[in-house]
Amino acid sequence: MELCDVGDREAVDAMAARVLERHPAINLVVNNAGMPGRGTILTIEPELVRRVTEVNYLGGVWCTRAFLPGLRWAASAGGGAHVVNMVSVAGTVAGAAGAAYSASKHAQLAFSRSLASTLRGSGIAVHTILPGFVETEGFPQKGVLKSRLLARFVIEPPQVAETVLEAIEKGRSEVTVPWFPYRPVSVLQALAPGLVGRFAGMSGHRPGSV
């Protein structure tokens, strides 16, 4: 097992070099590291803004670049190569309460879409997964969401894992899970950002939650 701080580019490069020395062909890279960053952009600690950006956005950039030689090796060998970027619905919808987190996920979404365009035809498939609220140890949701309605749509990690496998098997490039209500809200954000912004302001996390 290799451990490293994905926000540290030099650490990622060193870790990838050790892995590639043992396994020169890499069939799958999953960029799943993430951390919360709750608070408005005016109240959140500046250091947390920097750290959230490093982990949630740049971590995926550094890991993808570092493992690209292994992905290309696997693609050329005909075994298939895939990059899965675990983004978030927060990458399509922005509210006041999670400004730094949402900004990092918007950046990650743009990175994932750009990467998919860049690698098209290379044999390396890029899959962008956009989960809604997921109940995990690092992101407890059910006990901290203000909106009882949104709490009904919190899902468990196995559902996300199944979505990832299905995306790889069926060649899906971008998937929102669950589709409802998150995908319609994402589309509405693009069409009527002011309306969604007011709703997002009423549906954040309870004060004091991290």
CA distance 31 to 74: 18
Assess whether 182 carries a catalytic annotation.
no
Closest CA to 34 of 162, 139, 160: 139
Q: Give the Cβ contact number of residue 175 at 10 Å.
A: 18
CA distance 70 to 87: 23
| Annotated catalytic residue, options 62, 67, 101, 182 | 101
| Greatest Cα-to-Cα distance within the chain, rounded to the nearest angstrom | 52
Closest CA to 84 of 140, 25, 124, 117: 124
Catalytic residues: 101
